[in-house]
Every structure is written in structure tokens, then in C-alpha cells.
Amino acid sequence: MSHLAYFRVSGPEQSIASQRHAMLANAAAEQFSEEFADEGVSGAMPASQRPAFARLLAYARKGDVIHVYAVDRLGRDALDVQSTVRALLDKGVAVEVHGLGRIGRGVGELILAVLAQVADMERRRIQERTEAGRAKARASLDQTGRTHRGKASMGRPADYDPVVVAQWRLEHSASITATAEYFGCSPATVKRCCAAAVDA
């Protein structure tokens, strides 16, 4: 019997280290026989189409245990999670979800289906809130020239000329915060511009 781990993170700023630590603390194994990780892969992609998860499905054998950090790592939505788990159980592969335990036939599948549905609903709610925020920002931008959060544009701001930013700051003996307010950008942008101007 092999203990196999699957990790997925969406963005480059995320790490699988915390997932691994939590799962090992909860697992029957002191370490995993094999680990499979999809990094920078969106949860919107069906599980079987994720490169590492596809390799895991091909690798797993009867009697193996697959460990995942959360239900949403097993599929794109509730239906994908259910079909993935059912396919693994049919193959004789056990599935263990951190904080939930081992998923078995019957009641285990039912609990998993409910949790997957809740995760699916929460994902849709986040998308709805994001779109509502964008609509509000667009409306405010059209009416006042600023978004509802006071920004001059939506999305990533335009590039700033490092020399101009650094020169204005020097001429006005301005702080980074005051310079950021003047140009309508973040303090981090001012720091980058000043560093780039020095290097230029």
C-alpha cells in the first residue's frame, strides 16, 4: 500500500509547503511514497485534465491511499469531485481528505457530495461578488472619474516613467507616500521607480 499525496495551488505566490505539513501531521504515513503537485493550475480545470493529477490517476493502484488537503482539490465542481472519487473507489484506491478523513462508499460519498456542493456554491458566490465589485467600479469611474475605491483606473495602472517620478520626489523633498498620492499609484510603485531611476 502506497500513500500518495496530491497538491494544487493556483498562483505563483502560493506554496504547497503548508498543505504538505498539515497533511503529514494528519496522515497514517510518516512520509508520502509519491507526491504529485499542480502549481499555477486553476481549480476551474477538471481534475483529470490537470497534468499532475492525470499522472496520479495513472500511477495509483488498488490498495493505495490518496491524500488531499481539501475537497476542491479533487475536481472543478461538485460533479467532477463525485466522478473523480467514484472512479478512484471503483479502482480500489482510498481517498483521504485532510480534516475529513477517509471517504468510503455510501455515507462517505454522500458527505463528500454535500461538501463539494458547498465549495462549488462558495466559488460561484466569490465570482458573483467579484463581478459586482467590477460593475460598481465601472459605474463610479463613468460618473466621477474614479472607482468606488478612489483609483483612477480599473486593473493594473499604467506604467510610470521612473525618471519623472524620482525627479518629482527629489524636487519636492517628498516622502514615498506623498509621491504615491501625487501620481495616484502605490508606494511600491514609487520605490520601484526610484530604484530604476538610480540604476538608469
140-196 pLDDT per residue, tens: 878 887 777 777 666 655 577 888 888 899 899 999 999 988 888 888 888 888 888
- Residues 77, 45, 67: CA angle, nearest 5 degrees: 70
Domain 3-119, CATH number (from 3.40.50.10860, 3.40.50.720, 3.30.1180.20, 3.40.50.1390) = 3.40.50.1390
Q: Which amino acid is at 187?
A: P
Question: Where does the chain have alpha helices with state H?
Answer: 17-26, 51-59, 78-90, 107-144, 162-171, 176-183, 187-199
Q: Which amino acid is at 86?
A: R
CA atoms within 13 A on the CB side of 195: 6
Q: Which three three-digit cell numbers place residue 24?
A: 503529514
92-116 pLDDT per residue, tens: 998 988 888 888 777 666 776 777 7
Please give the share of the chain, as a percent, with pLDDT higher than 70: 88
Is residue 118 scored above 80 in pLDDT? no
At 93 the pLDDT is: 92
Decide the pairing of beta strands 3-9 and 65-68. parallel
Residue 14 pLDDT level (bands cut at 50, 70, 90): confident
CB 36 within 8 A of CB 56: yes
In degrees and rounded to multiples of 5, residue 164 shows phi and psi of -65, -45
pTM of the complete model: 0.58
> Is the model more confident about 21 or about 122?
21
50-90 pLDDT per residue, tens: 999 999 999 999 999 999 988 888 887 777 888 888 889 88
The candidate with the shortest Cα–Cα distance to 161, out of 136, 109, 130, 196, is 196
At 65 the pLDDT is: 92
Which residue ranges make up each domain of the chain?
A: 3-119, 162-199
